[in-house]
Structure 1
Amino acid sequence: MRKILVVGAGQSGLQLALGLQAKGFEITLMSNRTADEIRTGRVMSTQVMFDTALRHERDLALGFWERQAPRIEGVGVSVAAPDGSRPVDWLGRLKGYAQSVDQRVKMAGWLDVFVQRGGQLVIHGASVADLDYFSRAYDLVLVAAGKGELVSMFGRDAARSPYDAPQRALAVSYVHGLAPRPEHPETEAVRCNLVPGVGELFVMPTLTTSGRADILFWEGLPGGPLDVFQGVGDPAEHLALTLELMEKFTPWEYARAAKVELTDAGGTLAGRYAPVVRNPIGRLPGGGLVLGVADVVVANDPITGQGSNSASKCAASYLSSILMHGDKPFDEGWMKATFDKFWFTTGKPVTQWTNAMLGVPPEHVLNLIGAAGQLQPVADRFANGFDNPADFDTYFYDPEDAQDYLDEVVSSAGPSAGSGAPEAE
């Protein structure tokens, strides 16, 4: 029986630990918190998971909350004008539904299941010295804890990391009482509200510790009018500030929020970090090697909602690579090949798309977003790109590709669609 140490009890670490456990590996999992501490702590993320990532959980029979969580059937995009209007406002339909489960619910639940199934759980915030000691007793050490000292073992890959500073200031509130969008009251959807030169507001249905809720998530340009949450420790003040900014920049979303209240005292989160891609192999002082997982090695800004999705896809990819390796040693060559498989299928397309969305959108992207308001196939394709970001490579980045695609959609839609692609106002 091969022995594997997994450090970190988030989406990737727990999914991988439970997947390996189910295949007969002897797994030790290190977490810096107990299940109860996670369950009663502060929210950790915004985690909307799309169809592919949800299927990875289903494959391991880990979708315990699928019947309870809202079924998200669309992704909507609204663009704000300075006068408070929405010159662009549309809803793309997802081929397979998405869902969001508060990580306090999911990670605490999965941690309990891991222990119930006989896994060895060590509650300890691991240091590099700890891993140097423990690594000698394991065939493989996987580091899935994306913060703290351990990350220092994985050097920044400058060629794949164009940013060296945070590109957004982040502020999250979990609320009860948000009214549905009046134009689509029957459809659960992620709403992406783009405020040019200011930032973005995302509104997402979720399941939290107290039932169905919504997430209000501001992403503000550093130094801009949304960058005001640093140092705000009081949850009520955090929510009041969130609503004040909604009233100013996205009044159509503020109109839904007359009766909102925080889900709990731990229902807010604020912070910022620089997007980064790191070298996947860490070298311990004693010469041992460890393999980085998910956002330890590919940490993107949450503007495209890919964190939990990439973590799930990374766990599934690594699980496959481990199972295919048989009883051969997990050496440096295997580690590099295992990361490269994840990078080229998931990490690279996600990073390219996310970095593109962080910048000022070029004219052809504005045209695509505007066209989606009049051409439903364009709206649907953009929405489903959240599940498969690699699809953006075929039409999103190059102006000629974008125009060819719009021409093709208009042509197939017939004369009623007009002679050319509509432009964003």
Structure 2
Amino acid sequence: MRKILIVGAGQAGLQLALSLQVEGYDVTVMSARTPDELRDGWPTSTQVMFEPALNTERAYDLNLWEDEAPRIRDVGISVSPEPGVRALKFDGPWQPYAMSVDQRLKMSTWLELFEDRGGRIIYHPVMTSDLAGLAPMYDLTLIAAGKGEIVELFDRDPVRSKYVTPGRALSAIYLHGMVEPDDFPAGSMRINVAPGVGELFVISNLTMSGPSRVAFVEAIPDGPFDCFWDRPKPEEHLRRLRHVMQEHMPWEADLLRDAEPTDARASLSGSLTGTIRKPYAEIAEGTYVLGMGDVVVLNDPVAGQGSNSAAHCAGIYTKAIVDRGDQPFDPEWMQATFETFWEDRAQHSTGMTDALLNPLPEHVQQVLGAASQHQQVADRFCRLFPHPEDLGPFLGNPEAALAYVAKVAEADAATGA
């Protein structure tokens, strides 16, 4: 039985550990936090899992919240070119649905599931210096801890990495009591875009105390949305959110009037710099470790791709490890495994993130305007989030994109739609 060590207990690392456990591998996980510490801690991120990523979990019976988590069947998009003005809005379906589970709940449960199934977990932070002694004890060591000094083992890929500073200041708060709007389908995720200022995402979520909403702000640094830099406690976080939304997106501020934090540690704030790293590192002569998830592909969450990319990474790595049989996990295999992940998923997630992180080109703005008038265009745009591979075919060529919009408009005019 081949022995695998996974350092890190997030979406990518735990999904891989649980999947390989089912496949009969001897898997050890190293986690910096226990299940109780995760449940009682501050959120580390937000996530919306789309159908293709959910299917990678379902393949190994990891979809433990199908009957509890709200099913996000639609996404509603609003554009606000100036404070208090909603110039256009539209919505489209996510087939059949997306789901969001608080990672404090999800990862603590997965850790306990892994142990219940006989897995070995070492609850201890791992420093770079520890790996030289640990890795030779295993057939393969994977690094899935996306934060800390251990990430610096992996060199930045200067060709695939575009950013050297954060594109957004990030903040989120988990809420009970947020009112449903009457202009989008019930339970929809909402994306509010204020060009030059930032974005507000409102996500139906399952947390420890039941269904909730997450208000997630992507703020352009030093702008009016960048008001959570000092990491305020949840009550103050919510007060500031109401204040800034009242000025810039009053339709959302109205829905926050009766909201309250889900728990005493319901908020988070911070930033990250999108970075693509080389997939493997040599930690001692002839000893290599393989990176996965945010370690090797870290994107700003503006396009909702992080947890989905991590899930696909775990699925692709699981198959590659199983297919390898008894052959060595050498650097050539590590590079090839990462390239499969990059070609199949990560390049598209990165492209979708880049498209939304930067000012929208004129032809994309015209497509958004058309989406508010023609449901077929709205549906195709909304489908980009679960299927970022359609970004290039849809919007990569301005002439083709506008020709598509014109064709839809002509067909709708002919049918009176």
Same-fold call, TM cutoff 0.5 = yes
Partner of 1:134: 134
Partner of 2:47: 47
Partner of 2:405: 406
What does the per-residue CA deviation read over 1:338-365, in whole Å, with 9 as the maximum and x for residues that have no partner?
Answer: 0000001111111111112111111101
- Across the aligned residues of Structure 1 and Structure 2, the Cα RMSD in angstroms comes to 1.2
Aligned amino acid, residue 230 of structure 2: G
Written as runs of structure 1 = structure 2, the 5 A alignment for 1:247-396 is 247-396=246-395
Unaligned runs of 5+ in 2: none
Partner of 1:77: 77
Q: How far has the Cα of 1:93 moved from its partner?
A: 1.0
Partner of 1:245: 244
Contact 2:376 2:408 in 1 (8 A): yes
SS in 2 for 1:282: strand
Change (3 A) 1:178 1:407: same
Partner of 2:5: 5
Aligned amino acid, residue 384 of structure 1: R
Aligned amino acid, residue 131 of structure 2: L
Measure, in 2, the Cα distance between the counterparts of 1:29 and 1:413. 55
Partner of 1:96: 96
Higher mean C-alpha deviation, range 285-294 or range 207-216: 285-294
What does the per-residue CA deviation read over 1:155-174, in whole Å, with 9 as the maximum and x for residues that have no partner?
Answer: 11111111100000011010
Contact 1:410 1:417 in 2 (8 A): no
Measure, in 1, the Cα distance between the counterparts of 2:177 and 2:205. 12
Measure, in 1, the Cα distance between the counterparts of 2:231 and 2:125. 27
Contact 2:177 2:260 in 1 (8 A): yes
Tell me the TM-score normalized by structure 1. Answer: 0.96
Q: How far has the Cα of 1:416 moved from its partner?
A: 4.8
Contact 2:83 2:247 in 1 (8 A): no
Q: How far has the Cα of 1:83 moved from its partner?
A: 5.1
Measure, in 2, the Cα distance between the counterparts of 1:246 and 1:296. 34
Question: How many residues are treated as equivalent by the alignment?
Answer: 417
Partner of 2:203: 204
Aligned amino acid, residue 348 of structure 1: Q
Higher mean C-alpha deviation, range 88-97 or range 2-11: 88-97
Measure, in 1, the Cα distance between the counterparts of 2:122 and 2:116. 14
Partner of 1:181: 181
Aligned amino acid, residue 362 of structure 1: P
Q: How far has the Cα of 1:235 moved from its partner?
A: 2.1
Contact 2:233 2:265 in 1 (8 A): no
Measure, in 2, the Cα distance between the counterparts of 1:103 and 1:135. 28
Aligned amino acid, residue 381 of structure 1: R
Measure, in 2, the Cα distance between the counterparts of 1:416 and 1:238. 49
Q: How far has the Cα of 1:417 moved from its partner?
A: 6.3
Measure, in 2, the Cα distance between the counterparts of 1:408 and 1:16. 44
What does the per-residue CA deviation read over 1:67-101, in whole Å, with 9 as the maximum and x for residues that have no partner?
Answer: 00000001111011425121111111112200000
Partner of 2:17: 17
SS in 2 for 1:265: coil
Unaligned runs of 5+ in 1: 419-425
Runs of 4+ in 1 over 4 A off after TM superposition: none
Q: How far has the Cα of 1:36 moved from its partner?
A: 0.7
Partner of 2:68: 68
Partner of 1:213: 212
Contact 1:93 1:379 in 2 (8 A): no
Aligned amino acid, residue 109 of structure 1: T
What is the identity percentage for the equivalent residue pairs of Structure 1 and Structure 2?
46
Contact 2:231 2:268 in 1 (8 A): no
SS in 1 for 2:284: coil
SS in 1 for 2:205: strand
SS in 2 for 1:284: strand
SS in 2 for 1:158: coil
Change (3 A) 1:188 1:363: same
Partner of 1:26: 26
Q: How far has the Cα of 1:407 moved from its partner?
A: 2.5
Q: How far has the Cα of 1:246 moved from its partner?
A: 1.1
